[in-house]
Structure 1
Amino acid sequence: MADLIAIGFDQPTKAFDMRARLAELQTEYLIDMEDVVVVTHEDNGKVKLHQASNLTAAGAVGGTFWGMLIGMLFLNPLPGAAVGAGTGALSGYMTDLGVSDDFMKSVGESLKPGHAAQFVLVRRVTGDKVIERLKDFAGAGHIIQTSLSRTSEEELGALLEETA
């Protein structure tokens, strides 16, 4: 079962920096994330979701490959690739993996303009090592919502809200 962690930031750059650090920790197998998204509330009032992976592009690439392969069977690879790319892109666009986009947008609406939030869906984590590696973000944010245990939430909250 995955845990959801939503963290608010006064500065969007801090949210993007933390996402980069978490991605680095994932390559070291200290954390296994299902999804990580930064949500910004722009100064013009718009809420933007900054997904870590582009499912539309991935779907188009996969669809192109399969469409061309099937098209080769019928001696018509180019139209097969085009149809496959379109179908793959559409299915990638329609796919919503991880945290619900509607939920993230509604939280983003509640942020002040110029602020950001980060949503992380964590499958597995080595908590003590990850907390140690996130010390640079002391005082940078606050917890909006989590599904962590009370002690884990308090530990993360203490890190984020302590004065640097």
Structure 2
Amino acid sequence: MSDLVFIAFPSEDKAEQVRRQILALQREYLIELGDAVVAVKTADGQIKLNQMMNMTAAGAASGGLWGTLIGFIFLMPLLGTAVGAASGALAGRLTDVGINDQFMKDAAGALQPGTAGLFLLVRRMTTDKVLADLRGVGGTVMRTSFDETKEAALREALAACATAATPVAAPAAPAPA
């Protein structure tokens, strides 16, 4: 079973930076993601989703390849490529993999204009190591399907920003009498 996490950030750059950090954790096999999407609320209130994969382009490329192959059979490779690319792009546009796009747009409506949010669909994770790596990145947990203890640990790790960045100074030695 997967868990959904939605974290708000003050800027699109910060949300993208944290997404890259989490994808690096995935390459280390510490977390397995089903999806990771950055949602940006523009100054005019529109919601823009930055998906990890552009399904329309992938569909067009795949459709173009298959259209070319089928076009060779009927001795019309250019027509096959065009028809295949168009139908592949349409199929890719209608495909929704991972987190439901309408759900993300509705949830991202709670963001302030000019801010961004990161949606994560987490299949599995090594909680202690992932939270240690996310310690101090900032952000506000907006929604999660974690149990209460995991959610509290995530909130604590993200909020550790101010305390982790500021080293504690040693107390001054008393002056000699």
Bin the TM-score by the shorter chain.
Answer: over 0.9
Residue in 2 that maps onto 1:160: 158
Correspondences of 1:11-26 after superposition (within 5 Å): 11-26=11-26
Residue in 2 that maps onto 1:117: 117
Q: How far apart are 1:101 and its partner, in Å?
A: 1.0
Q: How far apart are 1:136 and its partner, in Å?
A: 4.3
1:32 aligns with 2:21: no
CA distance in 2, matches of 1:32, 1:59: 24
Residue in 2 that maps onto 1:144: 142
Q: How far apart are 1:135 and its partner, in Å?
A: 2.1
Q: Residue 63 of structure 2 aligns to which amino acid in structure 1?
A: G
Residue in 1 that maps onto 2:107: 107
Q: Residue 65 of structure 1 aligns to which amino acid in structure 2?
A: L
- For 1:110, what is the secondary structure of its paired residue? coil
- Identity level (%): 46
Q: How far apart are 1:163 and its partner, in Å?
A: 3.9
CA spacing shift, 1:135–1:163, aligned 2, 3 Å: closer
**When the two structures are superposed, what TM-score results if normalisation uses the length of structure 2?**
0.86
Larger Rg belongs to: 2
**When the two structures are superposed, what TM-score results if normalisation uses the length of structure 1?**
0.93
Q: How far apart are 1:27 and its partner, in Å?
A: 1.5
CA distance in 1, matches of 2:74, 2:29: 44
Cα shift readout 1:44-97 (whole Å, capped 9, x = no counterpart):
222111111111111111111111111112222111111111111111111111
- For 1:43, what is the secondary structure of its paired residue? coil
